[in-house]
């Protein structure tokens, strides 16, 4: 592609906004038509646009954990499939472009009139409430991928304008709530088409030549912004290590270590000294590690910039295969996306705190507290499966306290309203409030975590993947660490402590209480 000699700062701004709003509109359409609580209530999804080479153009401000991983999906689809007009690909295989199985991604090629090759791809990823596997909600304490649900390699969901019914039948036969799944797939499919329509309108309006020129300019623009940022970090090596509590199979902590090497306007992020992949479910695939790195650089840039391919050009991520940060087939990965991603962020900020004192916050709660439950509804006899994440406290910032009870870093999903939950599931919520004094003390205090109690109105299965139950979120500059979380069960008039990761059967009348970690404090 030939580059125009001069970039028009006015057109640059106009294209930037236009592409961003296409990604946002896809997201709005998906959210409003989806059936999984995770998508419609909690906004656990992402929409993005790619050029014909699979380079990301824009991503909606949805879920940071999808930042680096959406491009991997599109890359895999381009490598494995030849998509024609009227085709759409689907995948969730973590080792072929996915992250963990409940996150199902659709990739749709956009052909301009008379073209044989796609000029764009639209992609969207959504967290489905259940994708099969050993426990309802598909976030099990697994030891290999096969236990976590149905694995979908990149295949055609739609071919020549028709949805692949055989594939749909196989998928729906392998999940607990097929009606809901079918609706979600359709919502994702329609959202991908909204993106296609808008991209075509942009090309029609501005003309092909200029649009492609500015696609390049936008990549350069983001790259330039990230280079300006990296240049502001003093050259040198910065290291930091932190641990996951355990992998859900043994009690051993799992170490994640990073060395950040800054040289001029380029950065090398080296995770080579991290532990090998675990036998439990906390393994992160490379896409997740990439997302975490992408995220922290994005937060340190002063202005909002398009989340595109250009952002990562000046950054090299080194994560050898077989480590906890780049697990290989057939590792169990259900918790890597949600838990390990947060710890990767913690070590990255920990290292950068040394390079950029006064800019980086103390550790936030560091867990998404993934709660899944399922069983049969006593009123209707129908199967139910439910997944949610619960917020922690935010780490204190240089200059201000952390926020209490808020999702941080790699997630920003909403809670499901109590009144919606109780209308849909045989449970009663007994409390949902701040966990007092759980934020780390300091000149600025970390945010408090949350205490949530759930009474079961029927027998059910309950599992939780949580972190920071043993190893506390760190404070910075002399600030105290946040209080680690606690998981408690009350049954037969007595209470018991549960592990950070568990899967149990509960009976009618049991009450489960989760107290999430507070954020670290900042300054003495």
Shortest reach from residue 332's CB to other proteins, in Å = 27
Dihedral sign, Cα of residue 231, residue 234, residue 237, residue 241: negative
Residue 386: how many other CB atoms lie within 10 Å: 23
Residues 396-435 that bind other proteins (CB under 8 A): 397, 399-400, 403-408, 412-415, 417-420, 422-423, 428-434
Beta-bridge partner residues of 259: 239, 270
Write each residue from 57 to 86 as x if it is in contact with other proteins (CB under 8 A), else as -, in one continuous string. ----x--x----------------------
Q: Toward other proteins, which CB reaches closer, 192 or 254? A: 192
Residue (4 or 328) nearer to other proteins, CB: 4
Q: Which is nearer to other proteins, 180 or 346 (CB)?
A: 180
Q: Does 302 bind other proteins (CB under 8 A)?
A: yes
Residue 79 C-beta: closest distance to other proteins, Å: 30
Judged by CB under 8 A, the chain residues 131 through 160 that form the site for other proteins are none
Sequence-ordered list of residues with C-beta below 8 angstroms from that of 506, at least 6 positions apart, any chain: 456, 459, 460, 461, 462, 489, 491, 512
Binder among 225, 244, 254, 344 for other proteins (CB under 8 A)? 225
Size of site (CB under 8 A) for other proteins: 78
- Smallest distance from the beta carbon of 369 to other proteins, in angstroms? 11
In the bound complex, what is the minimum distance in angstroms from residue 344's beta carbon to other proteins? Answer: 16
Our finding on whether 174 is near other proteins (CB under 8 A) is no
Sign of CA dihedral 128, 129, 135, 136: negative
By CB under 8 A, is residue 383 in contact with other proteins? no
Span from 110-118, 221-229, 260-268, 316-324 in contact with other proteins (CB under 8 A): 221-229
Smallest CA-to-CA distance from 483 within 516, 522, 513, 523 is with 516
Nearer to other proteins (CB atom), residue 324 or residue 391: 391
Give min distance, CB of 353 to other proteins, in A: 12
Q: Kindly state the tokens that stand for 493.
A: 């008039």
| Minimum CB distance to other proteins, residue 423 (Å) | 5
210/252 with CB nearer other proteins = 210
287: helix, coil or strand?
Answer: helix
| Coil vs helix vs strand at 105 | strand
Question: By CB under 8 A, is residue 440 in contact with other proteins?
Answer: no
Q: Which is nearer to other proteins, 34 or 77 (CB)?
A: 34
Does 251 bind other proteins (CB under 8 A)? Our answer is: no
Joined tokens for residue 93: 């295989």
3-state secondary structure of 386: strand
Of these, 51, 93, 130, 180, which contacts other proteins (CB under 8 A)? Answer: 180
DSSP code of residue 444: B
Q: State which residue, 143 or 466, has the beta carbon closest to other proteins.
A: 466
| Three-class secondary structure of residue 336 per DSSP | helix
Interface pattern 448-477 for other proteins (x via CB under 8 A) = --x--x------------------------
Distance of CA 353 to the CA centre of its chain: 23
Exposed/middle/buried for residue 358 (C-beta within 10 Å: 0-12, 13-18, 19+): exposed
Closest CA to 128 of 45, 27, 33, 23: 45
Residue from 168, 186, 241, 355 binding other proteins (CB under 8 A) = 186
For other proteins, which is the closer residue by CB, 168 or 418?
418
Candidate residues 115, 169, 173, 179; the one interacting with other proteins per rule CB under 8 A: 179
Give the Å distances, CA to CA, from 288 to 63, 273, 278, 300, 430.
12, 17, 16, 19, 35
316-375: which residues touch other proteins (CB under 8 A)? Answer: 360-361
> Burial level of 318, CB count in 10 A (0-12/13-18/19+)?
middle
Nearer to other proteins, 86 or 330 (CB): 86
Q: How far is the CB of 55 from other proteins (least distance, A)?
A: 17
Cβ proximity to other proteins, 303 vs 492, nearer residue: 303
What is residue 189's three-state secondary structure? helix
Pairing of strands 427-435, 449-456: antiparallel
Nearer to other proteins, 21 or 209 (CB): 21
Q: Which of 116, 166, 303, 492 binds other proteins (CB under 8 A)?
A: 303
Beta-bridge mates of residue 159: 162
End-to-end CA distance of the chain: 55
Q: How many whole angstroms separate alpha carbon 223 and alpha carbon 396?
A: 30
Beta carbons within 8 Å of 368's beta carbon, 6+ residues apart: 338, 339, 342, 389, 390, 407, 410, 411
Q: Give the footprint of other proteins on residues 15-54 (CB under 8 A).
A: 16-18, 21, 25, 28-29, 31-35, 37, 40-41, 43
Q: Please tell me whether residue 437 binds other proteins under the rule CB under 8 A.
A: no
Which is closer to other proteins, CB of 141 or CB of 296? 296
The C-alpha angle 118, 225, 59, rounded to 5 degrees, equals 40
């Amino acid at each position: 592609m030939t580059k125009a000699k001069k970039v028009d700062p006015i057109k640059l701004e106009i294209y930037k906004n236009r592409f961003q709003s296409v990604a946002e509109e896809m997201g709005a359409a998906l959210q409003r038509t989806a059936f999984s609580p995770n998508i419609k209530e909690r906004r656990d999804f992402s929409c993005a646009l790619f050029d014909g080479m699979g380079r990301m153009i824009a991503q909606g401000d949805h879920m940071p954990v999808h930042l680096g991983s959406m491009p991997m999906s599109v890359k895999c689809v381009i490598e494995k499939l030849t998509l024609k007009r009227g085709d759409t690909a689907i995948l969730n295989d973590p080792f072929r472009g996915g992250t963990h199985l409940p996150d199902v991604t659709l990739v749709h090629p956009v052909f301009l009139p008379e073209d044989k090759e796609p000029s764009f791809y639209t992609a969207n990823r959504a967290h489905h409430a259940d994708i099969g596997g050993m426990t309802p909600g598909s976030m099990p304490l697994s030891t290999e991928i096969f236990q976590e649900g149905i694995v979908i390699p990149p295949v055609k969901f739609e071919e020549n304008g028709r949805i692949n019914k055989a594939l749909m039948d196989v998928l729906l036969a392998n999940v607990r709530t097929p009606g809901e799944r079918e609706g979600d797939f359709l919502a994702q499919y329609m959202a991908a088409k909204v993106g296609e329509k808008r991209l075509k309108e942009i090309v029609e309006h501005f003309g092909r030549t200029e649009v492609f020129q500015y696609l390049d300019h936008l990549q350069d623009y983001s790259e330039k912004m990230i280079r300006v940022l990296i240049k502001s970090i003093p050259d040198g090596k910065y290291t930091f290590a932190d641990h996951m509590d355990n992998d859900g199979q043994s009690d051993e902590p799992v170490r994640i270590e990073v060395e950040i090497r800054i040289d001029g306007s380029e950065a090398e992020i080296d995770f080579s000294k991290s532990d090998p992949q675990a036998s439990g479910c906390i393994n992160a695939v490379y896409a997740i590690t990439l997302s975490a790195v992408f995220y922290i650089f994005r937060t340190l840039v002063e202005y909002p910039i398009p989340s595109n391919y250009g952002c990562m050009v000046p950054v090299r991520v080194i994560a050898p295969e077989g480590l906890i940060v780049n697990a290989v087939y057939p590792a169990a990965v259900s918790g890597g996306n949600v838990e390990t991603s947060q710890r990767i962020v913690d070590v990255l900020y920990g290292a950068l705190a040394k390079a950029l004192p006064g800019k980086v916050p103390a550790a936030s709660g560091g867990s998404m507290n993934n709660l899944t439950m399922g069983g049969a509804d006593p009123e209707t006899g129908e199967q139910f499966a439910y997944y949610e994440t619960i917020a922690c406290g935010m780490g204190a910032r240089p200059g201000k306290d952390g926020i209490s009870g808020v999702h941080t870093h790699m997630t920003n999903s909403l809670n499901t309203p109590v009144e919606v939950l109780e209308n849909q599931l045989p449970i009663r919520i007994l409390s949902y409030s701040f966990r007092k004094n759980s934020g780390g003390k300091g000149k600025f205090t970390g945010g408090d975590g949350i205490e949530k109690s759930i009474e079961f109105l029927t027998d059910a299965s309950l599992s939780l993947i949580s972190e920071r139950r043993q190893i506390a979120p760190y404070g910075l500059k002399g600030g105290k660490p946040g209080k680690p979380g606690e998981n408690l069960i009350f049954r037969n008039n007595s209470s018991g402590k549960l592990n950070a990761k568990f899967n149990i059967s509960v009976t009618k009348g049991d009450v489960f209480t989760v107290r999430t970690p507070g954020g670290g404090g900042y300054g003495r």
